[in-house]
Structure 1
Amino acid sequence: MSYQCPLCHQSLTLTDRTYRCSNNHSFDLAKEGYVNLMPVQHKRSKDPGDNKEMMQARRRFLDHDYYARLRNRIAELCLENTHQQTSTILDIGCGEGYYTSHLAQETQSTVFGLDISKAMIKQAAKRYSDVNFTVASSQRLPFSDNSLNAVVRIYAPCHHDELYRTIADNGIIITVTPAARHLFQLRELIYEEVRLHHDEAESIVGFELESEENLSYPMHLSGSDAYDLLQMTPFAWKASPGLVADLKSREAFVCDTDFSIRVYRKAR
């Protein structure tokens, strides 16, 4: 399987480090090994996606494996729910590739990682050579019809019709969303009244909810790791300089994870 041209939707063929379609639209493979399939006219800003500071914080935090239990469970679910000898898996909103590379290692599948952030994909491709990384929009997936056996979405949005178009018959979507108490202690520092996350299952057109489970555990963080966690979240925009300084200076900070993990299967 290869990519689909984001301009005319014809198949792309790789020749001499350039992807080209029958209409002669071309996209060069970067020296790091990824391909940028985000045309300028599809961008909403000059440099969409997470900024450099958020990227660095995310990488530092994930390198400590605080989310390893989630990473491992996603790989297990892919193995349990895809039955083809050779599966094709897409990680939407893959960031720096922490989950994506693990999927490739554990499932021995052809794995694609997609993110709107060029900086994220560049770093991912430098680090992980076992994944096909691309800069692209999750709202316009650069893949042909019925070509994916599984799609992983960790907090990532995507048009339902694009999921239905690209996922093969009997294929699956694995979603991860915040459950009720996710990062509760961190949010307590920022908001006077902390509301529990709504934990209702998303309805995805053309797919049936097959299973759902929660994964919850406390994280015992240093102050610097807690700061990195904050920087990974939208809460960082609401945190005062004093709160940030206090968090970074702490010797320890305990914070709960609470993930909702769901498997959807394409209806026949």
Structure 2
Amino acid sequence: MYRCPLCAETLNQQANAWRCQHGHQFDMAREGYVNLLPVQQKKSLDPGDNAEMIQARRAFLDAGHYQFLSNAINQQLAAVLASTVQQSPAALLDIGCGEGYYSAALANALPGLTVYGLDISKTAVRYAAKRYKQLQCCVASSYALPFTDGAFAALLRIYAPSDAAEMARVLRPGGYLLTVSPAPEHLLQFKQQAYSEVRLHADTVKTEAGFHHVRRERLQSLWQAPDAAAMLQLIDMIPLAYKLNTQMRETLCQQLPAIQLDFYLDLYQKD
């Protein structure tokens, strides 16, 4: 499944390392993941989410606050993959898998589906591989996917930036792409604290070259924080966190307002 990020040749596993015919070697970490992110593909010393964001996200997700989103993802993909998995081995790639919560839930929901998790954050992949042994995890760029052509029956992309041509390349003909993105009112109460003029997320369906759009599901829920700790976890796990200063955080933790959760699940199929 893996291909060399340096020369694009197939990687073969030899003991605890992956090697290509040109001699490029990538060692398996003790947690079970492989780092396929060459230095020339890095834009910083330690790209991706930091440890604080990942720890906050893990605590928040472990508490079940986004279980409804995970269930919807599993249902959408099970509807299009169940027959495929029954007929022959199939694999799915979670692009931007983070600490592995959604990837692992999907692997458990669809036995027989091999789930790969990819993230540019080494810390996130380490967390995912250490806890979820059923996943195949790698550190890599979502713009240069280190996988052979047509390797996957489906792709999952939750918020992660990516390249449509690369996604189409690693997806088999007729394969599916499920994306999760913020719908207009997502985290509206946070935006009202951070901005004097609130701009809602766009409601347009994004065009992905090489794919046609199949359907859209909008998933909404009002989330009520059980305590200040849960509110801080949600704040710290999102990119908007840097816009919320100490006073804003204290206000949110004291008032514990209901927070609007609003997602789009868009299913595409490869042309």
- Band the TM-score falls in, shorter-chain normalisation: over 0.9
- In structure 2, the gaps of 5 or more residues are none
Runs of 4+ aligned structure 1 residues displaced above 3 Å come to: none
Q: Does 1:186 align with 2:186?
A: no
- The correspondence for 1:230, drawn from 232, 235, 241, is 235
- Structure 2: how far apart are the matches of 1:166 and 1:77? 20
- Structure 1: how far apart are the matches of 2:147 and 2:7? 12
Which residue does the alignment assign to 1:213? 217
1:249 Cα deviation (Å)? 4.0
Q: Deviations over 1:23-81 (max 9, x none)?
A: 11111110000000001121111100011111111111111111111111111111111
- The correspondence for 2:172, drawn from 168, 175, 187, is 168
Query: How many pairs align?
Result: 265
The answer to whether the Cα contact below 8 Å between 1:223 and 1:253 also exists between their aligned partners in 2 is no
Letter paired with 1:45: S
- Structure 2: how far apart are the matches of 1:150 and 1:104? 13
Instruction: Write out aligned runs for 1:94-105 (5 A).
Output: 94-105=97-108
Letter paired with 2:236: Q
Letter paired with 2:251: D
Q: Deviations over 1:168-217 (max 9, x none)?
A: 01101000111111111122121122222111111011111011110101
The alignment partner of 1:84 has SS state of helix
Instruction: Write out aligned runs for 1:53-202 (5 A).
Output: 53-82=52-81, 83-85=83-85, 86-108=89-111, 109-202=113-206
The alignment partner of 2:259 has SS state of strand
> How high is the sequence identity, in percent, across the aligned residues?
42
The alignment partner of 2:264 has SS state of strand
The alignment partner of 2:84 has SS state of coil
The alignment partner of 1:217 has SS state of strand
**TM-score for both structures, normalised by structure 1:** 0.96
Letter paired with 1:4: R
- In structure 1, the gaps of 5 or more residues are none
Deviates more, 1:177-186 or 1:77-86: 77-86
1:110 Cα deviation (Å)? 0.5
- Structure 2: how far apart are the matches of 1:227 and 1:116? 24
Letter paired with 1:70: L
Cα distance change on mapping 1:64 and 1:253 into 2, 3 Å: farther
- Structure 2: how far apart are the matches of 1:26 and 1:154? 30
1:17 Cα deviation (Å)? 0.8
Which residue does the alignment assign to 1:34? 33
Letter paired with 2:84: Q
The answer to whether the Cα contact below 8 Å between 1:209 and 1:264 also exists between their aligned partners in 2 is yes
- Structure 1: how far apart are the matches of 2:221 and 2:173? 35
Deviates more, 1:254-263 or 1:224-233: 224-233
The alignment partner of 1:104 has SS state of helix
The answer to whether the Cα contact below 8 Å between 1:224 and 1:249 also exists between their aligned partners in 2 is no
Q: Deviations over 1:139-161 (max 9, x none)?
A: 00011111111000110111111
**TM-score for both structures, normalised by structure 2:** 0.95
Letter paired with 1:225: A
The answer to whether the Cα contact below 8 Å between 1:211 and 1:264 also exists between their aligned partners in 2 is yes
